[in-house]
Amino acid sequence: MKKIREYLGRDISMVILFGFFLAICLLMIVSFGTNMFNGTTLASMAFQLSEVAVLAFGMALCMLLGGIDLSIVAIANLASLVSAMILTGRFFDTEKIGQPITILAAVAVAILLSVLCGFINGVIISKFSVSPIVATLSTMTFYSGIAMGITGGNSIGGYPSSFIKFGNGMIAGIPMVFIVAVIVFVVLILALDHTKIGHEIHYIGENHTASRFTGIDNEKVIMKVYSISGLMAGIASLIIMARSDSARCGYGDTYQLQVIMISVLGGISPSGGKGRLYGVFIATFCMQLMQTAFTLWQFSPYSKKLIWGMMLLVIMLINMVQERVAQQAKIREMQAKRAV
Amino acid sequence: MKIWKKVDKTQQFLCVIILVYIIVVSMRNAQFLTLTTLFNLVRSSAGTTILSMGVLVIMIAGGIDVSFPAVAIFGGYTSLRICMAYGIESLFVTFAISILIGVVLGVVNALLINMLKLEPFIITLSTASVYFGLMTILVGTKNVGASDLPAQFKMLSSAKLITTTNAYGGTIGLSVFIIPVVLCVVATWFLLNKTLIGKGIFAMGCNNEAARRAGFNVNLLRIFIFGYSGVLAGIMGVIYIAGTNSVNPVSLVGTEMSVIACVVIGGAAPQGGYGKIFGTLLGVILYYLFNQTLIYLGLSASWQDFFMGIVLLFSIISTSYQRRLKDRKNFIFTE
C-alpha cells in the first residue's frame, strides 16, 4: 500500500492521465454500450491514431529538450507531396522502372527530405541561437510555402496499389500503420532510457547551462533531436499518404494544436526536462477515444475545438496546482528537518 | 542621410529589398507604379497593420500571442450580429462593442499567463481555440452577405478620404481605413517611446526579474499589454468585416502566423526587449507587396509564403546571430 502511494506521489500526472482515460472509457460505455468496443471500431481508431501518435512523439522529443517544433505538420505535408509526385510519375516514367523501385524511391525521398528539413530547424536553433518557437514558425512558413508553390494548392492522388495496401491493410486484425507506430514508440522509448543521447535530452531540457558545463555538446544534441523530429514527420507523412491516397498542402492543420496538446496531456512539461514517452502514447489513445466519441455525438468541428482548448487549459491548471502542492510539501519537510 | 543612419540594419536591409522588388516589378509591368496599387495596398493591409502593432508590443515585452485573430473575429462578428439584431447604425457603438470584447479576452489571456506561469505561446494557442469555439456556440457561424450588412459597415467599406481619377478616367480613392491605422500606429509609438509603461515593456522584455526588482509591477503590465492588444484586435475585427464586405466568420483564423512573420521580419527580437515600429510597417508592406504583385512577375500568389519564408529566415538568422556573437563575448549561453 505504501509502495503504491509512493508511486502515485512520484508520478501524479500519470495518475491523472490514467484517471482521465478510464473516465472517458466509462462515459463512452454508459452512452453507447459496451458493443462499441468491438474489433471494427478499435481497428478504425488504430488507423486514425497512428499518424497523430508518430507526430506527437516528434513534438514530445522537442518539448523534452525545452523547445517546440511548429513546423512538424508542414514538414509532413512537404515530404508527402514530393513523394506523391514521384509515386504518380511526375519526375520519371513509373511504368519503365517498375512499382517496387518507384515506391522505394518515394519512401527514401520522403524520409531523407523530412530529416533534412528537421536538420535545418536544428541548425537554425543551435548554430544561430534563434528561439525554437520563432525558428520553427518561420521554417513552417517556408516549408508550407514550397509545398503551396509547387502544387498551387491542389491535391495529388492515385498511388500504386501496393502502397495503398500498406495504409489500409491489416496483419492478424491489427492495422499495419499501427504496427509501424508501435515500432517507432518502442525504439524511441528504448533510446530515451538506454542511450547517451536519451539522457542528454533530459539534461538539456532540465538546465541547458548546467548541461553545457558538464561537457555535453548542446548544439549537436539539439540538431540531432530536431532531425529525429523531422524523421517522425516523414514517417507520419508516409502513413498519411498510404491511408488517404492523397497528399494536399493544407492537410492536418488541426494536428498542430492536437499534437501539442497530446504532449502536454501526456505529462511532458512545456518548459522541458520532465515527462515520459509512454504518457504521450496513452494520451494519444485518450484523444482518439474522445475524437470517436465526438463523432458519435455529432459535435460540430468548432465545439470540438472549444473542448480541445479547454482541456489543454485545464490540464495545465492541474499541473500547476500539483506542482505547487509538491513544492509546499518540500518546504514543510525542510522546515521540519530544521526544527529537529 | 541622417535618417538612413538612424534606422537599424534590419530596416535598411528591408528598405533595400522593397526598393529592388518595386524596381523589378515596375520594369516588368508598367501598371504597377500607379496610385491604384498604392491605394489597394493601404486598404488591404489595414487590418494586418493594426494587428501587427499589438503583436509588436507583446513581442517587445518578451511574449507571443497567437489568439488575436480569434479575438478580432470574436469582437467584430459579435458586434456585427448585435448591430444587426437591434438595428444599431452607430459607428461608435459598433467599435465600442468590439473593443470591449477585445479587452476582456486579452485580459483573460494575461491573467492565465500570470496564473499558470507557462510559455505564453501554449496558453494563447489554447485560448485561441476556446475563444473561437465559444464564438461559434454563442453567436453562430452564419455567413453574412454584403447586402445584409448594417449601414455603418457599408459606409466604412466604401467611404474615401481622397479621390482622384486614374489614367482611364475612373475614380479611385484612398479608403478611410487609413485613419484607424494611423491612429493605432501613433498610439503605439507614443505608448512605447513616451510613457513609463513603454519603458516598463522594454525592461520586461530584456529581463523580467530585473524589471520586477526595478519596481515595475510585471503582472499588471502584462494585463495592460494584452488588454491593449485586445483593443487593437477589436478595432481590426470591425475593419476586417467592412473590408471583406461579407463575412464568413471562419475565414480569419489561421492568419496569426503571417502577422507574427511581419513583425519578426521587421526586426523585433523574439526573446523580447527590442523592436521598431518602422521595421514592423516595412514587414507588413513587404508581405502585401508579395501578396498583390507576384502576379505581375508571372508567378501565382501561392508562392507568397515561399518568398515570405526566405525573407523571414534571413531576417531572424541575421538578427539572432549578431545577438549570439555579442552574448558569447560576455559568456552568455542561450541554448
Judged against a pLDDT cut of 70, whether residue B331 lies above it is answered with: yes
pTM of this structure: 0.86
Beta-carbon separation of B137 and A218 below 8 A: no
> What are the E-state strand segments in B30-130?
none
Note the ipTM here.
Answer: 0.82
Instruction: Tell whether B2 is within 8 A of chain A (Cβ).
Output: no
Query: Residues A138, A239: one domain?
Result: yes
Looking at residue A113, its pLDDT comes to 94
- Which chain A residue's Cα is nearest to B272? A131
In a domain, A340, yes or no: yes
Beta-carbon separation of A126 and B126 below 8 A: no
Looking at residue A235, its pLDDT comes to 93
C-alpha cell at A129: 541561437
C-alpha cell at B31: 501598371
Query: Residues A265, A338: one domain?
Result: no
The answer to whether A231 touches A111, Cβ cutoff 8 Å, is yes
C-alpha cell at A305: 475545438
Domain count, chain A: 2
Question: Nearest CA to CA, how far is A263 from chain B (Å)?
Answer: 12
Query: Residues A204, A323: one domain?
Result: no
Instruction: Tell whether B327 is within 8 A of chain A (Cβ).
Output: yes
The answer to whether A295 touches A301, Cβ cutoff 8 Å, is no
Rounded to 10 degrees, the C-alpha dihedral A191/A196/A198/A204 comes to: -170
Give the pLDDT band of residue B105 (cuts 50, 70, 90).
Answer: very high
Query: Residues A11, A144: one domain?
Result: yes
Which chain A residues touch B114 with a CB distance below 8 Å?
A: none
Beta-carbon separation of A138 and B316 below 8 A: yes
The answer to whether B260 touches B121, Cβ cutoff 8 Å, is no
In a domain, A304, yes or no: no
Instruction: Tell whether B126 is within 8 A of chain A (Cβ).
Output: yes
Q: Which domain holds residue A156?
A: 2-298
Query: Residues A229, A340: one domain?
Result: no
- Residue in A138, A143, A306 nearest the CB of B134: A306
Beta-carbon separation of B125 and A257 below 8 A: yes
Instruction: Tell whether B297 is within 8 A of chain A (Cβ).
Output: no
Contacts of B268 (CB under 8 A, 6+ apart): B56, B59, B60, B274, B275, B276, B279, B280
The highest-level CATH class for domain B6-25+34-320 is mainly alpha
Beta-carbon separation of B261 and A300 below 8 A: no
* pLDDT tens, chain A, 340 aa long: 566 666 655 566 677 777 777 887 788 777 777 666 677 778 888 888 888 999 999 999 999 988 889 899 999 999 998 988 888 877 776 667 777 888 888 899 999 999 999 999 999 998 888 888 889 988 988 998 898 888 877 788 777 777 787 777 777 778 888 888 999 999 999 998 889 988 899 888 888 888 888 888 888 999 999 999 999 999 999 988 888 877 777 777 778 878 888 888 888 887 777 888 888 888 888 888 888 888 877 787 788 888 878 888 888 888 788 778 888 888 888 888 887 7
Which chain B residues touch A144 with a CB distance below 8 Å?
A: 305
Beta-carbon separation of A320 and B116 below 8 A: yes
Query: Residues A316, A197: one domain?
Result: no
Residue pointed to by grid coordinates 525554437: A132
Query: Residues A283, A327: one domain?
Result: no
Query: Residues A313, A286: one domain?
Result: no
Contacts of B220 (CB under 8 A, 6+ apart): none
Give the pLDDT band of residue B334 (cuts 50, 70, 90).
Answer: low
In a domain, A112, yes or no: yes
In a domain, A223, yes or no: yes
CA dist B33 and A262 (Å) reads 50
CA dist A71 and B130 (Å) reads 22
Beta-carbon separation of A138 and B261 below 8 A: yes
Query: Residues A44, A160: one domain?
Result: yes
CA dist A30 and A297 (Å) reads 13
